[in-house]
Amino acid sequence: MAESCAPPPPSSPSGSDRLPLIREAFRLEWLTIGWMTIEAVVAIASGVAADSLVLIAFGLDSVIELASAGVLIWRLSVELHHGKSFSEHAERTASRIGGALLFLLAAYVTAAAVWRLWTGGGEEFSWPGFIVALVAIPAMRYLAQRKIAIADQIGSRALRADAIEAVTCGWLSFVVVVTLAAQWLFGAWWIDGVGSLAIVWLLVKEGREAWSGDDCCS
**What pLDDT score was predicted for residue 120?**
66
More confident position, 84 or 143: 143
163-175 burial string, b = 16+ CB within 10 Å, else e? bbbbbbbbbbbbb
Say how many C-beta atoms besides its own lie within 10 A of residue 135's C-beta. 16
**What pLDDT score was predicted for residue 9?**
45
Look up the pTM and report it: 0.75
> Is it the case that residue 26 has pLDDT exceeding 70?
yes
Classify 11 as helix, strand or coil.
coil
Confidence of residue 208 (pLDDT cuts 50, 70, 90): confident
More confident position, 133 or 116: 133
d(CA 84, CA 100): 24
Domains and CATH numbers, the chain: 14-217 (1.20.1510)
**What pLDDT score was predicted for residue 216?**
43
**What pLDDT score was predicted for residue 86?**
56
Name the region of 15 (left: φ>0; alpha: ψ -120 to 50; beta: rest).
left
Asked if 112 contacts 145 with a C-beta cutoff of 8 angstroms, the reply is: no
The one-letter amino acid code at 98 reads G
